[in-house]
Structure 1
C-alpha cells in the first residue's frame, strides 16, 4: 500500500548557516541523507514529502497538513528532551510516525537514567555515578581508572583523551570542565578496556531482531583507547569496522543478547543501535542506546552493518517502515 510519508529532520547545513558550530550540529543530517531516504521511499512506492525540523513541523500541522506516516529522524537542538519534541507534536495531532515515542527518546538521551532502567531490568551494565556538581565526584564508589562524558550528548561529543581519568585528585576538575562546557550532568563509569561493539536492531518488542554487530577497531592514527568525537568525525582514517557473527564468537553472541534485552526493556521501536563495551573479564556491558540512529547510506553505523551483511539500504528502510506499519496496525 502506497503511503504519503512526511520527512522530519534537522539539516546540518541549515544550522551552520544560522551560526551554530560544527560540534553543536554534529548529530544533524546531511542533505545526502535526506535525499537517500526520500529516493528510497519513492522506490518503495510511497510518496515522500519533506517537512523539516520541529518548528517547520509545528507550522505545517497548524496549517492543516497531514501525512499517512512521518519518517522522523529529527534530533532537536535545545533541551534534554530535544529528541522528543517532534514525536510529541505528532502525538498531539495524532499523526503516526517511525521510531520511538517521546517517553523513550527523553529517557534514552539521559545516559544515567537509561542505565538505571536497564540495570533494573537485569541487563548487564557497568557501575556509574551521575555528577550534578564537581564535588559529587568524591562519592564515586568504584576504583579508577574512570571514564567521564556528558550525560545527554551523542556522536561522541565531550569524549576526548581527557575522558579517561586515572587519579582521584583529577576527577572533580575534569568533571567541572565538562559541566561548564555542556551545562549538563556528567556520567562517571569505570573505564572499560575491552572490545567495543555496536549492534543494529530492527523491529519492536517481541518482533525486534538483531541485524548484525560490528566491532569498532581504532587504527594507529586514532586517539587511543576510546571512540571519541574526533575518532568518529575522522572515521575514514581512524577507525575500522569489522563485521562479527555470533556463531563464530561467543562474546558477540552475548553482546547481541544484551543489546536485544536492553532494546526491549527500554521500549525502543522500529530500528536503531545499541553500543556495548567489554570489561577486564571480556564481558560485554551495555553502554547506551541510539533509538534515532544515523542512516546516511555510506557512513552511518546502522547502514554500515547492513552493507556488511549484504542487506541493501532499500531493505533497511523498508523494514523500518514495515515495523511502524505493523506496530500501528496493532494499536488500532
Structure 2
C-alpha cells in the first residue's frame, strides 16, 4: 500500500509527537522493510498538505498533531485529512485535545469517575499566601500543554509559598499560560502503551519509570532526565500494582475514545492508589529510548519493527478496499 508520513519542523513545538527527524526516519525505514511504498513529508505550509491529498495515499501516518503557520491558525492534521477523505493514523482532533491540554483530560476523566490527582491552575500574583491555595503543600507544578518534561525540574516540587510563587512566575514567563498545580503524589511512576488492533483486541504494555535520585531524595521525571535518558525503565513486578495500573490506563484509553494507539501516564501515592496523569496520543518513537516502543519491548519482547506494524494495523485495515453492497449482491447472484 501507499503510505505517507507527515511531520513538521518541530523544534519549537512543546507538544507530543514521534520526535525528531531521526525518529521519523526510523519509522520510515521500518515501514519500508514491510514492503510498503512509503514517503516522509516535512510539511511547512498548507500547500505541502495539498500535495499529499493529490497523491491520494492509502494511509497517512501523523507524526505530529498539527503544523504551525506564521500569523495563521494551526492546521490540525487529523481535521485536514478527514475533511479531504484521506485515511490517517491516530485519533480525531476532538480526542487529541486531551493530549494537548492536560486539564481537559483530567476534568473529563474525573467526571467519568476515573481517579486523577487533585489540581488547580495559577498565574502570577493570583494567590497572595499559602492559606489561599485550594490544595495544601506539597504541590507539583508544570505547564498545561508541554511534553517531554518541558518546564519540569527539581523546582517543580514545592513545599512553601515562596517556592510556589517563584515556579509559577518562571513557568508563566516561559510558556505564557496558566500553570497546572497538582497535589504531589509520593509513589511510583508508570506508563502504559496501548495499541488497538482491527479485531478490537488491545496490546497493553505497562512499565515502571524510575528517574535518578535528585535533591532531597526526590525522583523527578523532568526535561533534563528525559533528554539525558537517565531514567530506568523496567517491568512492574508486583502483580497487584500492575493490575491496578493496567485497569486505570485501559479505562482512561477507552473513556477518552482513543483510536489506534496511545500512551497513558500513571502515578501512585505511597498507599499504592493509582491516578491518571496524562495521555500521549502521538507518542515518541525514537528508536532505543522512547517509552512507547521500549515498553512494548520490555513487556512483550516486541522489536521496533513489530511495534510499528501493530501501530499501523488499524489504519491499513481501514484502507482495505471494500466491495460496495450492490457489487456484492451482483457477485453473489452471478455465482
TM-score by length of 2: 0.84
User: Match for 1:272 among 256, 259, 262?
Assistant: 262
Partner of 2:120: 129
Deviates more, 1:200-209 or 1:38-47: 200-209
Task: Report the alpha carbon displacement of residue 211 of structure 1 after superposing the two structures with TM.
Answer: 2.7
Q: Distance in 2 between matches of 1:206 and 1:266?
A: 19
Partner of 2:206: 213
Give RMSD over aligned pairs: 3.0
Q: Distance in 2 between matches of 1:131 and 1:114?
A: 18
> Structure 1 267/204 Cα, relative in aligned 2: closer, same or farther at 3 Å?
farther
Partner of 2:27: 37
Partner of 2:99: 108
Task: Report the alpha carbon displacement of residue 76 of structure 1 after superposing the two structures with TM.
Answer: 4.0
Q: Distance in 1 between matches of 2:319 and 2:226?
A: 35
Q: Distance in 1 between matches of 2:156 and 2:28?
A: 38
Runs of 4+ with deviation above 3 angstroms: 23-28, 75-79, 136-140, 220-224, 325-332
If asked which structure has higher relative contact order (CA below 8 Å, sep 6+), I would say 2
SS of the equivalent of 2:140 reads strand
Q: How does 1:4-83 map to 2 (within 5 A)?
A: 4-11=2-9, 15=11, 29-53=19-43, 55=45, 57-61=48-52, 64-76=54-66, 78=68
Instruction: Give the number of the structure whose alpha-carbon radius of gyration is greater.
Output: 2
User: Match for 1:303 among 293, 310, 327?
Assistant: 293
Question: 1:123-147: CA deviations, max 9, x gaps?
Answer: 1111111225540586532211000
Q: Distance in 1 between matches of 2:262 and 2:38?
A: 21
Task: Report the alpha carbon displacement of residue 162 of structure 1 after superposing the two structures with TM.
Answer: 1.1
Q: How does 1:226-245 map to 2 (within 5 A)?
A: 226-235=220-229, 238-244=230-236
Q: Is the 8 A contact 2:14 2:145 kept in 1?
A: no
> Structure 1 162/226 Cα, relative in aligned 2: closer, same or farther at 3 Å?
same
> Structure 1 250/25 Cα, relative in aligned 2: closer, same or farther at 3 Å?
closer
> Structure 1 261/171 Cα, relative in aligned 2: closer, same or farther at 3 Å?
same
Q: Distance in 1 between matches of 2:184 and 2:321?
A: 42
Partner of 2:90: 99
Q: Is the 8 A contact 2:24 2:63 kept in 1?
A: no
SS of the equivalent of 1:172 reads helix
> Structure 1 177/31 Cα, relative in aligned 2: closer, same or farther at 3 Å?
closer
Question: 1:34-53: CA deviations, max 9, x gaps?
Answer: 22212221222311012223
Question: 1:206-234: CA deviations, max 9, x gaps?
Answer: 92524311111123479942101011011
Q: Distance in 2 between matches of 1:266 and 1:330?
A: 29
SS of the equivalent of 2:79 reads helix
Task: Report the alpha carbon displacement of residue 179 of structure 1 after superposing the two structures with TM.
Answer: 1.2
User: Match for 2:177 among 160, 163, 184?
Assistant: 184
Q: Distance in 2 between matches of 1:267 and 1:330?
A: 25
Question: 1:4-31: CA deviations, max 9, x gaps?
Answer: 001011355xx5xxxx5xx869967333
- Which ranges of structure 1 fall in alignment gaps of 5 or more residues? none
User: Match for 2:282 among 292, 296, 300?
Assistant: 292
Partner of 1:158: 151
> Structure 1 310/262 Cα, relative in aligned 2: closer, same or farther at 3 Å?
same
Q: Distance in 2 between matches of 1:226 and 1:40?
A: 33
Task: Report the alpha carbon displacement of residue 328 of structure 1 after superposing the two structures with TM.
Answer: 6.6
TM-score by length of 1: 0.85
The answer on 1:257 being equivalent to 2:247 is: yes
SS of the equivalent of 2:118 reads coil
Task: Report the alpha carbon displacement of residue 72 of structure 1 after superposing the two structures with TM.
Answer: 0.8
Q: Distance in 1 between matches of 2:101 and 2:256?
A: 12
Q: Is the 8 A contact 2:57 2:86 kept in 1?
A: yes
